[in-house]
């Protein structure tokens, strides 16, 4: 057993949680800059830039939805109509590469809101539900596609193993691994030797060895074979713990280097979560059942990001929240690739 794990015996103090931002829409992914600036994906078609003084700037394309447009639950979360930035990553120079859940595409957005489409087809087929993007130290961008089923919610009951991972490098985009059940966020360890993959619909974390040419090795399960909820987002801390959000159950857990599962924060609705789990097992989930299961801090808790000058402030992203709950961690996060890069203000 790895000794002196700073998370063992520690939990989030709810009284110490502070909310950052206001009137956000679907802040699913959060990017933190070293200078303290935050960027939260926004359902109005771009991202909300939040300065250290709390000032907000909605950065969206000129043809994006009206900032005050009301979108119903089915259109926003089930049918996924319109531009819905999901996973985001900084490119060198500060532009943002976006996995667009609504348009099933990969886009690049400038810091002023200009957008260009990189691609929306792969191997001659429509891309599917583009979920997350990650840049590594070699300059490659990794992409996850959750499913090709439409609506995407059907893939949960079907346990469809049609999710995949693609890499984008000097050779262009190509699929490097497939057969995943609900591919979601991906992360690399500190040495970039392993690529960790959230399989939301299978309720597990998998990992694959990363080869120099961008190909991936054999898949193996990391941590528990079945998590107590749908994993969505995750991030490593500097100790090697893998923090994981369980969406709808709205629980924050961590997988230690020993494979132990620790609960760090539980904000779920126990009764609604039990019903959610029962229907998951019976493969009878509906959007209405999923909608009923959520907490109050970060409803449909979807991601976490380490930020602050010491990387010890945690920000929680969500699909149905309007702020970013934040708190202090006893251990710094693993520094992202862009941490020491200087971007235009």
pLDDT in tens, 36-87: 999 999 999 999 999 999 999 999 986 555 555 555 656 666 666 778 999 9
Average predicted confidence (pLDDT) for the chain: 94
CATH number of 23-328: 2.120.10.30
Confidence class of residue 201 from pLDDT cuts 50, 70 and 90? very high
Q: Where are the domains of the chain?
A: 23-328
In this prediction, residue 144 carries a pLDDT of 98
Q: What is the pLDDT of residue 1?
A: 61
Local confidence band at 3 (pLDDT 50, 70, 90 cut-offs): confident
- What tens digit of pLDDT does each residue of 163-200 get? 999 999 999 999 999 999 999 999 999 999 999 999 99
Nearest Cα neighbor of 248 from 216, 282, 225, 277 is: 277
pLDDT the model gives residue 79: 66
Separation CA 153–CA 168 (nearest Å): 27
Task: Say what the pLDDT of residue 2 is.
Answer: 67
Q: Establish how many alpha carbons lie within 13 A of residue 325's alpha carbon, considering only the half-sphere containing its beta carbon.
A: 26
- pLDDT band at residue 318 using 50, 70 and 90 as cut-offs: very high
Residue 46, strand partner residues:
42
Residue 63's pLDDT is 58
Task: Give whole-number Cα distances, 145 to 24, 48, 255, 259, in Å.
Answer: 25, 24, 24, 26
CA atoms of 345 and 339, how far apart (whole Å)? 15
Phi-psi region of 102 (alpha: psi -120 to 50; beta: other; left: phi over 0): alpha
Structure confidence by residue, pLDDT tens digits, 261-312: 999 999 999 999 999 999 999 999 999 999 999 999 999 999 999 999 999 9
pLDDT of residue 22: 97
Q: Is 191 helix (H, G, I), strand (E, B) or coil?
A: coil
Helices (H), the chain: 73, 154-158, 270-282, 287-292
Tell whether omega for the bond before 151 is within 30 degrees of 0, i.e. cis.
yes
- What pLDDT is attached to residue 315? 98
* Closest to 285 (Cα-Cα) out of 182, 157, 181: 157
> Which pLDDT does position 77 carry in this prediction?
63
**pLDDT at 280 (0 to 100):** 97
Sequence-distant (≥ 6) Cβ neighbours of residue 251 within 8 angstroms: 228, 229, 245, 263, 265, 266, 267, 268, 301
Tens digits of residue pLDDT in 86-121 = 999 999 999 999 999 999 999 999 999 999 999 999
26-30, 150-154, 311-315: the lowest-pLDDT one:
150-154
Nearest to 185 by CA among 168, 206, 170: 206
């Amino acid at each position: 057993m790895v000794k002196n794990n700073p998370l063992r015996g520690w939990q989030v103090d709810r009284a110490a949680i502070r909310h950052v931002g206001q009137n956000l829409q679907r802040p699913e992914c959060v990017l933190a800059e070293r200078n303290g600036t935050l960027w939260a994906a926004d359902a109005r078609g771009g991202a909300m830039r939040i300065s250290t003084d709390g000032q907000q700037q909605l950065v969206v394309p000129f043809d994006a939805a009206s900032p005050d447009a009301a979108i119903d639950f089915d259109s926003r979360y089930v049918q996924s109509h319109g531009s819905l930035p999901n996973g985001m990553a900084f490119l060198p120079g500060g532009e943002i590469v976006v996995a667009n859940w609504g348009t099933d595409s990969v886009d690049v957005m400038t810091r002023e809101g200009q957008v260009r489409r990189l691609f929306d087809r792969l191997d001659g087929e429509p891309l599917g539900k583009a979920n997350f993007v990650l840049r590594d130290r070699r300059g490659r961008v990794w992409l996850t596609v959750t499913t090709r089923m439409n609506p995407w919610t059907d893939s949960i009951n079907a346990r469809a193993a049609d999710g995949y991972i693609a890499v984008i490098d000097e050779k262009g985009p190509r699929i490097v691994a497939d057969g995943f059940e609900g591919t979601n966020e991906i992360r690399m360890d500190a040495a970039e030797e392993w690529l960790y993959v959230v399989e939301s619909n299978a309720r597990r974390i998998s990992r694959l060895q990363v080869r120099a040419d961008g190909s991936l090795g054999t898949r193996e399960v990391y941590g528990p074979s079945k998590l107590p909820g749908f994993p969505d987002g995750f991030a490593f801390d500097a100790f090697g713990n893998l923090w994981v959000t369980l969406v709808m159950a709205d629980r924050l857990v961590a997988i230690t280097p020993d494979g132990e599962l620790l609960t760090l924060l539980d904000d779920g609705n126990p009764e609604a979560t039990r019903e959610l789990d029962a229907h998951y097992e019976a493969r009878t989930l509906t959007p209405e059942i999923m909608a009923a299961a959520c907490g109050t801090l970060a409803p449909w808790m979807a991601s976490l990001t380490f930020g602050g000058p010491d990387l010890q402030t945690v920000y929680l992203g969500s699909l149905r929240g309007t702020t970013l709950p934040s708190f202090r961690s006893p251990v710094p996060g693993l520094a992202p690739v862009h941490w020491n890069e200087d971007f235009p203000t």
